[in-house]
């Protein structure tokens, strides 16, 4: 049977359904654009999916570089990735890798403006025969159904990681490492080369109640204790060694082409990972013949990946190239659409073969930093954007932006901008020069609970900003009026926003614990207001780590398997109707950070009250922001 060809059209085409692609597609669709998301795998999530199983990290850091401090430094990413994390935390207490696949799939299927196409790869691009350099349509193929799709769109977004769409469109890109001189980067190499960060295959093991032997295949690597001294033996352990999660440092392939040589890299990574497990289980024997195994007799291999978790391949050249200086100085960009904060995290390209070098060299980033829209717009294809690890950045700057929490907020920023452009018949290449467009995009991101350094809600359509706010009680520094500061987190603490760029304060209302619950907060206007929608932002403990991880020690630092204790659980929204109060909505069992409540018909009132009757753990109510919108 011949391949069947389908003609499709949308406003925004997103290629790649990983940590950047899913938020990008959801943001664009929720902004009103018709979106098609093509993912070349059977599941969503990329490196976070069940096929790879890397936990999502981001600006809040990890290990000795944690940024978090309650009421001072709340660096964990908000917006769509926070929605995903909270959903996974509550619905996936068992920490199943496949449950995250399902949560991402469910979110995409539930979005009416989004068409999800799994197992579908963008393989070619068509451009107009004349005129400017823009994409007219992409050709995508789904081999398992013998279908081909010709998809027309106004804006095309490459979230594939490897940059397949952009390469087909002949967009300029970079590979390898730049020299120190090229971008004035002290952490760059003296001379440019074509080396990059390698890839890793993860594994999981499970402890049993009896010895579980392991026999390595003949092709597995063999490692001595000296080979592993800066890796396996340098990793801090517990009193009883734990082996449930794989080895992120089992890295290899950075000296090869991580796209064209990916199959060979996969084969060698399997040999490396099984060789490390053989070393853990059976141990290298010293000259006396003594057993040096790592107390893993009862542990057995439970899962091993066959899809390498790839760190680096191509990086596109956009309207701006993010550099080490931009990151370390927290340079302010007028067109910021996201932020980062992970360390500049450089690895030896040789991976485990560089036995005498540490598996990573992390240079802490002093403050949170901007990621501008111009790093996500092609300089030479007018309607091409990108999000994820392929954005426009040097190798050094990329070593911070590449982590999946950062990729996700960039994806949401790009999706919002792509929808703005598509719905207004604008090419993305024009957005960064359009002050009105930038303001519209940034205000939409803030409304959707994304965080932008130093930027606050000043939406003239938000009726709450003109209200007088009172509450049943308030804590010092967390007064009722804080719900109108326009910022929904505290970042003035150590390693938060740069001192010249932060907006000090807790940016939330918290009721007095001594007064107990229920507690209420009220908005009053001088004249009646026509109200269609109320949006609430709750506290979800953004100073803490929260991400699906199969590492027991990392998960122990989280509040996993339950709602976050600060979050309001039960509440009502009422409007004043004459001398009485009319309940518009009542919610029980909330665990999400952002909640929107649209009323069927516009209502007129001079006062609105939110009453909190229960939380998920704390003895007081906490609300970060209240927005009130009319149908206009």
> Tens digits of per-residue pLDDT, 574-584?
999 988 999 99
Tell me if 190 is assigned to some domain.
no
- Distance in angstroms (rounded) separating the CA atoms of residues 53 and 63: 19
pLDDT of residue 238: 45
Same-domain check for residues 408 and 535:
no
Is the Cα torsion angle 78, 81, 84, 89 positive or negative in sign?
negative
| 463, two tokens | 């009726």
Same-domain check for residues 472 and 592:
yes
How many helices (H) does the chain have, and how many strands (E)? Answer: 12, 27
Domain that holds residue 129: 4-177+311-447
> Considering 251, 280, 310, which residue would you say is the last residue of a domain?
310
DSSP sequence for 528-570:
EEEEEEEEEEE---TTS-----S-HHHHTTS--SS--TTSEEE
pLDDT of residue 602: 87
Tell me if 185 is assigned to some domain.
no
Same-domain check for residues 43 and 155:
yes
- Distance in angstroms (rounded) separating the CA atoms of residues 107 and 398: 28
| 106, two tokens | 């469910």
- Give 301-327 pLDDT, tens digit per residue: 999 999 999 999 999 999 999 999 999
pLDDT of residue 233: 83
**Phi (first) and psi of residue 390, to 5 degrees:** -100, 15
DSSP state at residue 189:
B
- Distance in angstroms (rounded) separating the CA atoms of residues 270 and 119: 24
Q: Which residues contact 368 (CB under 8 A, 6 or more apart)?
A: 59, 75, 330, 339, 340, 341, 453, 491, 495, 496, 497, 498
pLDDT of residue 240: 54
DSSP 3-state of 325: helix
Domain count, the chain: 3
> Considering 447, 472, 492, which residue would you say is the last residue of a domain?
447
- Distance in angstroms (rounded) separating the CA atoms of residues 302 and 244: 9
Q: What angle do CA 202, 207, 212 make, to 5 degrees?
A: 95
> Considering 279, 310, 341, which residue would you say is the last residue of a domain?
310
Same-domain check for residues 421 and 470:
no
Confirm if 207 and 298 have CB atoms less than 8 A apart: yes
Average pLDDT estimate for 99-107: 98
- Distance in angstroms (rounded) separating the CA atoms of residues 99 and 89: 11
Confirm if 251 and 352 have CB atoms less than 8 A apart: yes
Average pLDDT estimate for 246-265: 97
Question: Is the pLDDT assigned to residue 404 strictly greater than 60?
Answer: yes
Average pLDDT estimate for 73-83: 98
Tell me if 187 is assigned to some domain.
no
pLDDT of residue 2: 79
Tell me if 601 is assigned to some domain.
yes
Q: Which CATH number goes with the domain that contains 364?
A: 3.50.50.60
Rounded to the nearest integer, the mean pLDDT of the chain is 95
| 250, two tokens | 């089992």
**206-210, 229-233, 534-538: the lowest-pLDDT one:** 229-233
Same-domain check for residues 66 and 156:
yes
Which of 551, 619, 625, 617 has the alpha carbon at shortest distance from 594? 625
Same-domain check for residues 333 and 430:
yes
Same-domain check for residues 292 and 316:
no
Same-domain check for residues 435 and 342:
yes
Average pLDDT estimate for 441-469: 97
DSSP 3-state of 627: strand
Tell me if 182 is assigned to some domain.
no
Q: Please state whether beta strands 336-340 and 344-346 pair in parallel, antiparallel, or not at all (unpaired).
A: unpaired
Same-domain check for residues 479 and 526:
yes
Confirm if 384 and 311 have CB atoms less than 8 A apart: no
- Distance in angstroms (rounded) separating the CA atoms of residues 36 and 26: 10
Q: Which CATH number goes with the domain that contains 494?
A: 2.60.120.260
pLDDT of residue 239: 46
The strand pairing partners of 307, in sequence order, are none
pLDDT of residue 237: 44
Same-domain check for residues 319 and 373:
yes
pLDDT of residue 295: 83
Same-domain check for residues 397 and 370:
yes
CA distances in angstroms from 479 to 394, 503, 512, 536, 623, listed in the order given: 44, 16, 10, 16, 10
Tell me if 500 is assigned to some domain.
yes
- Distance in angstroms (rounded) separating the CA atoms of residues 581 and 595: 21
Same-domain check for residues 499 and 517:
yes
**Phi (first) and psi of residue 424, to 5 degrees:** -115, 15
Query: Where residue 1 falls among pLDDT bands split at 50, 70, 90?
Result: low
Q: Is 418 exposed, middle or buried (0-12, 13-18, 19+ CB in 10 A)?
A: buried
End-to-end CA gap in the chain? 53
Instruction: Please give the model's pTM, rounded to 2 decimal places.
Output: 0.97
- Give 384-394 pLDDT, tens digit per residue: 999 999 999 99
The strand pairing partners of 148, in sequence order, are 5, 141
CA distances in angstroms from 127 to 16, 134, 164, 315, 424, listed in the order given: 21, 6, 16, 22, 21
Question: Is the pLDDT assigned to residue 285 strictly greater than 80?
Answer: no
């Amino acid at each position: 049977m011949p391949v069947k060809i389908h003609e499709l059209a949308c406003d925004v085409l997103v290629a790649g359904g990983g940590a950047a692609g899913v938020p990008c597609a959801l943001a664009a669709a929720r902004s009103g654009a018709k979106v098609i998301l093509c993912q070349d795998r059977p599941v969503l999530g990329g490196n976070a999916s069940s096929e790879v199983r890397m936990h999502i990290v981001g600006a809040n850091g990890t290990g000795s570089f944690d940024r978090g401090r309650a009421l001072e430094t709340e660096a964990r990413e908000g917006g769509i990735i926070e929605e995903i994390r909270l959903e996974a935390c509550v619905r996936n207490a068992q920490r199943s890798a496949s449950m995250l696949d399902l949560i991402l799939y469910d979110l995409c299927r539930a979005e009416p403006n989004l068409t999800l196409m799994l197992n579908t790869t963008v393989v070619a691009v068509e451009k107009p025969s004349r005129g400017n350099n823009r994409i007219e349509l992409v050709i995508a193929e789904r081999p398992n159904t013998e279908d081909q799709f010709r998809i027309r769109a106004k804006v095309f977004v490459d979230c594939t990681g490897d940059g397949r769409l952009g390469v087909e469109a002949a967009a300029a890109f970079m590979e390898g490492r730049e020299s120190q001189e090229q971008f004035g980067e002290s952490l760059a190499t003296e001379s440019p080369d074509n080396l990059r960060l390698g890839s890793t295959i993860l594994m999981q093991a499970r402890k049993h109640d009896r010895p579980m032997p392991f026999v390595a295949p003949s092709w597995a690597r063999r490692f001595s204790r000296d080979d592993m001294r800066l890796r396996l033996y340098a990793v801090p352990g517990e009193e009883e060694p734990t082996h449930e999660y794989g080895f992120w440092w089992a890295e290899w392939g950075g000296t090869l082409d991580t796209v064209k040589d990916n199959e060979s890299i996969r084969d060698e990574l399997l040999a490396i990972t099984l060789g490390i497990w053989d070393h853990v289980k059976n141990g290298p024997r010293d000259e006396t013949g003594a057993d040096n195994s790592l107390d893993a007799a009862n542990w057995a291999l439970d899962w091993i990946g066959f899809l390498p978790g790839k760190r680096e391949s191509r990086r596109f050249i956009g309207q701006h190239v993010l550099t080490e200086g931009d990151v370390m100085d927290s340079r302010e960009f007028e067109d910021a659409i996201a932020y980062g904060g992970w360390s500049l995290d450089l690895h030896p390209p040789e991976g485990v073969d560089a036995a005498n070098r540490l598996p990573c060299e992390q240079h802490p980033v002093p403050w949170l930093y901007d990621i501008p829209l111009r790093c996500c717009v092609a300089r030479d294809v007018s309607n091409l954007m990108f999000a994820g690890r392929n954005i426009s950045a040097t190798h050094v700057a990329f070593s911070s932006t590449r982590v999946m929490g950062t990729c996700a907020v960039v994806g949401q920023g790009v999706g919002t901008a792509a929808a703005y452009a598509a719905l207004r018949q604008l090419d993305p290449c024009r957005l960064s020069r359009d002050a009105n467009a930038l303001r519209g995009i940034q205000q939409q991101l803030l409304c959707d609970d994304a965080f932008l350094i130093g930027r606050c809600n000043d939406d003239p359509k938000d009726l709450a900003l003109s209200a007088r706010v009172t509450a049943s009680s308030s804590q010092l520094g967390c007064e009722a009026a804080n719900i109108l500061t326009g910022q929904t987190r505290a970042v003035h603490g150590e390693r938060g926003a740069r001192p010249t760029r932060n907006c000090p304060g807790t940016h939330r209302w918290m009721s007095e614990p001594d007064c107990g619950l229920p507690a209420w907060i009220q908005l009053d206007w001088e004249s009646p207001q026509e109200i269609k929608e109320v949006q609430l932002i709750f506290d979800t403990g953004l100073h803490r780590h929260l991400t699906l991880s199969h590492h027991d020690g990392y998960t122990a630092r989280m509040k996993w398997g339950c709602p976050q204790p600060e979050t309001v659980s039960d509440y009502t929204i009422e409007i004043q109707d004459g001398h009485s109060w009319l309940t518009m909505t009542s919610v029980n069992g909330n665990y999400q950070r952002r909640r929107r409540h649209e009323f069927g018909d516009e209502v007129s009132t001079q006062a609105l009250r939110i009453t909190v009757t229960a939380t998920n753990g704390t003895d007081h109510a906490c609300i970060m922001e209240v927005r009130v919108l009319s149908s206009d």
